[in-house]
Amino acid sequence: MPQPTPPARPDPGPQRPRRTRRRGLAAAALLAVVAAAGAKEAPPVAADPALEARLQAVTAELRCLVCQNQTIADSNADLAVDLRNQVRDMLRQGRSEREIIDYMTARYGDFVLYRPPVRGTTALLWFGPAVLLVGGVLVLVLVLRRRSRMAAEHFEPDEDDEAGDSAQAAPGVPSPSAAPPGAPSR
């Protein structure tokens, strides 16, 4: 007796795009929540645009002590925000830009200046990269000159050269780079 065939399954085709769409929407929602959690509050708009312009000028001259490659005007580090607020308070008290920069330099040293002055203590900072570059080029030139004067026996042959020499040699004739009979192999 023949077995009855099971009923045909409905085509799952339309359900798959719905699942994919739902997963995509869930992923987008999760990404939006994560991005919103990391966002910070925007700084308030200045009540005094002249004061904010002076603040920007002063903070552009001071290095962020946390980031080290940004000014405190550009940095979002907590210390940079505190220093900007401190500079803003000092400007409101009537201090000049020079007085504020001198105060910060006295407190944190020349390191806080984004463009430190050329002094004996900062000479390495200003001229160190150039000295290292010139020294590196000199070492490279000396090594290359010394190597160009060395005989070929001091260098290991390239693997490509050995394969090319043995392939070009006639059968039974040793290649010029081949070791003499009885010599230890490398």
User: Residue 155: its pLDDT value, please?
Assistant: 81
Q: Which of 76, 74, 63 is nearest to 105 (CA)?
A: 63
Q: Which residue has the tokens 């339309």?
A: 14
Domain boundaries, the chain: 49-112, 118-154
Neighbouring C-beta atoms of residue 40, cutoff 10 Å: 7
Please provide the size of the chain in residues.
186
Residue 63's DSSP bridge partners are 71
Q: Which of 88, 106, 108 is nearest to 97 (CA)?
A: 88
User: Residue 94: its pLDDT value, please?
Assistant: 92
Taking only the tens place, the pLDDT of each residue in 81-134 is 999 999 999 999 999 999 999 999 999 888 888 888 888 887 887 899 999 999
User: Residue 30: its pLDDT value, please?
Assistant: 81
The CATH number that domain 49-112 falls under is 1.10.8.640
Taking only the tens place, the pLDDT of each residue in 151-180 is 888 788 888 765 555 555 555 555 555 555
Per the confidence metrics, is the pTM higher than 0.75? no
CA 148 centroid distance within chain: 36
Q: Which residue has the tokens 């070009």?
A: 168
